[in-house]
Amino acid sequence: MYVAAKGGEAAIASAHRLLADRRRGNRDVPALTLEQIAGQLALAVDRAMAEGSLYDPQLAAMAVRQARGDLIEAIFLIRAYRTTLPRFGNSQPLETGNMRIERRVSATYKDLPGGQLLGPTFDYTHRLIDPDMAGDAPVEAGARRDWPGEACPRVTDILGADGLIEPDGDGPDGKPGDLTREPMEFPAGRDLRLQALARGDEGFLLSLAYSTQRGFARSHPFVGEIRIGLVDVVMDMPEVGFPVTIGRVRMTECQMVNQFRGSAKQPPQFTRGYGLVFGQSERKAMAMSLVDRALRADEFGEERTAPAQDEEFVIAHSDNVQATGFVEHLKLPHYVDFQAELDLVRRMRREHAARDIDEGNGETGDDEAAAREAAE
């Protein structure tokens, strides 16, 4: 139960002014521009877009700045803004096979059609603080190559051609669900689970994915392929009678090849885990693909023994906006509830003290009687 506090409106207005002052910082230092945030803190912006479920780098940069770099607060801002937008149509499924690739690596095949491409990655850095980051040292332009214009087949497509991996599946019957418009019910279809994982908290999914590698799920994965790049967004336009490309988005896709299964009627095949995330976020995409595979335990007749295999546990606790709201509501005044429990504890302590006194008197009386009997 909550109660109103006097003077709250004036205090909140003062808190807002102080927040704006702290956000601006030293006035002698130029303010951050959205171009700087989107360009130089791009991975933070990508995470805000991915978990905010809205692809708009400028808007995400604005949210990061408004939140003083608190990414969960920025995600909250983006989610709130997203609810105000009209929805005028659905795009066709993204064709990631035609991605304009910026990074592509595989842990399963060394020689891939189209080749591997390291791209911008921290993987081979030494994780040592670079003193040049303290200033504005000149940076050499990165090497680039012309896009060949041809599609690069996925590793899973190569395996699928020989029947070595389970089919990709046709998805749900009819239109896929939309967890932003329909309440989640369990058990949920894989389409809804993937939506929830795509906007789930990266740290939470990373921990669950790590748990699957420590024996808390049946998982023996290989990274079939990670690819990062630009993908065309195509919509059917009834007005013109043909599909139209309305833009491009940067995506990270991870195809995880997992332990095989088979039966007396079906030869062994590898199974799949899938991750697809806005921006450059391969750690999130990898974690998502591992958790996706763990959540398919029932589908493959596997025993559910680990948290990562518990659909309701994973989906219900993966959203950092919901988690933040519930945890931080504990800061609100709970004066009435606390006073009720405080009164209860005090009454119970009085009863406990009275019982101790009674028991003490009883023990004293017994000792005196025993002493009299001994004297006689």
Instruction: Give the model confidence (pLDDT) of 134-178 as tens digits.
Output: 988 888 888 887 766 667 888 998 899 888 998 886 666 667 888
Give the burial class of 32: count Cβ atoms within 10 A of its Cβ; 0-12 exposed, 13-18 middle, 19 or more buried.
Answer: middle
Predicted pLDDT at 358: 79
Amino acid type, 137: A
Q: Which long-range contacts (CB under 8 A, 24 or more apart) does 162-166 make?
A: 163/267, 163/269, 164/269, 164/270, 165/257, 165/269, 165/270, 165/271, 165/272, 166/269, 166/270, 166/271, 166/272
Residue written as token pair 């190559």: 145
Q: Tokens standing for 272? A: 């799949």
d(CA 222, CA 208): 17
Q: Is the pLDDT of residue 94 over 70?
A: yes
d(CA 241, CA 232): 19
What pLDDT sits at residue 361? 72
Phi, psi of 369 (to 5 degrees): -65, -40
Q: Indicate if the pLDDT at residue 337 is higher than 60.
A: yes
**Does the pLDDT value for residue 275 go beyond 70?**
yes
For Cα atoms 16, 20, 22, give the angle at the middle one, nearest 5 degrees. Answer: 115
Residues 6+ apart with CB under 8 A from 111: none
Average pLDDT score, the chain: 89
Determine the pLDDT at residue 2: 53
Place of tokens 């709970």: 334
pLDDT at 265 over 80: no
Of residues 262 and 48, which shows the higher confidence score? 48
Could you tell me the sign of the dihedral formed by the alpha carbons of 121, 125, 127, 129, in that order? negative
Confidence of residue 181 (pLDDT cuts 50, 70, 90): confident
**320/318 Cα distance (integer angstroms):** 6
Q: What is the pLDDT of residue 7?
A: 67
Q: How confident is the model at residue 13 (pLDDT cuts 50, 70, 90)?
A: very high
pLDDT at residue 375 is higher than 60:
no
DSSP class of residue 117?
B
Tokens in use for 154?
A: 């996925």
Amino acid 61: pLDDT: 97
Residue 145 CA: distances (Å) to CA of 119, 142, 297: 11, 10, 42
Length of the chain: 376
Residue 220: predicted pLDDT: 82
pLDDT in tens, 107-141: 999 888 888 999 999 999 888 998 988 988 888 88
C-beta neighbour count of 295 within 10 angstroms: 26
Question: Judging by beta carbons within 10 Å of its beta carbon (0-12, 13-18, 19+), is residue 353 exposed, middle or buried?
Answer: exposed
**Which residue shows structure tokens 């993937």?**
194
Measured CA to CA, the distance from residue 4 to residue 8 in angstroms comes to 8
Separation CA 104–CA 362 (nearest Å): 82
What's CA 115's distance to the chain center, in Å?
Answer: 30
E-strand spans in 125-241? 222-237
- What is the average pLDDT across 186-200? 93
User: How does residue 72 score in pLDDT terms, banded at 50, 70 and 90?
Assistant: very high
- Nearest partner of 56 among 66, 46, 70, 65, judged by Cα: 46
Residue 365's pLDDT is what? Answer: 57
Gap between the Cα atoms of 108 and 157, Å rounded: 13
pLDDT for res 282:
94
